[in-house]
């Protein structure tokens, strides 16, 4: 059988218990609510285009976007330098998207902060 990582197993069980205690429906409500707020606020940022679905039944806890004239790697790097904020870069199919994910551990203050940072980045002169 070899060596087993008991701490990893215990941590995984604790995470399952934590999620079960909150409840799947409550977690989904929370992460979708945060994503809806993030989506709405990002739509006010100059030069930023949200590419995620607008209809709630097609949405998830992910919000994807681009910033006109700003390559994804450049924006991701600036977010990390200023935040740090980590984004998923979506380069497949020639997309120049970035994706932010909301989760149970995120709060409204983090939504406000990332919108502030993206507003700053979107309005910075090209390097």
List of domains in the chain? 30-123 (3.90.1150.10)
pLDDT of residue 106 exceeding 90:
yes
Beta bridge partners of 54: none
What is the tens place of the pLDDT at every residue in 44-103?
Answer: 999 999 999 988 888 899 999 999 999 999 999 999 999 999 999 998 898 989 999 999
What is the tens place of the pLDDT at every residue in 3-26?
Answer: 889 999 999 999 999 999 999 999
pLDDT of residue 127 exceeding 80:
no
Put the strands of the sheet holding 48-50 in their side by side order.
Answer: 48-50, 62-67, 97-101, 88-90
Range 4-7, long-range pairs (CB < 8 A, 24+ positions)? none
pLDDT of residue 105: 92
Whole-prediction pTM: 0.88
């Amino acid at each position: 059988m070899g060596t087993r990582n008991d701490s990893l197993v215990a941590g995984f069980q604790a995470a399952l218990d934590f999620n079960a205690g909150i409840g799947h429906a409550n977690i989904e409500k929370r992460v979708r609510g945060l994503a809806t707020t993030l989506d709405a606020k990002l739509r006010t940022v100059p030069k930023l285009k949200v590419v995620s679905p607008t209809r709630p039944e097609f949405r998830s806890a992910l919000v994807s976007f681009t910033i006109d004239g700003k390559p994804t790697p450049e924006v991701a790097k600036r977010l990390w330098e200023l935040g740090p904020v980590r984004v998923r870069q979506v380069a497949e199919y020639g997309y120049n998207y970035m994706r932010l994910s909301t989760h149970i551990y995120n709060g409204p203050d983090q939504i406000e902060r990332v919108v502030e940072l993206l507003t700053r980045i979107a309005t910075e002169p090209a390097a």
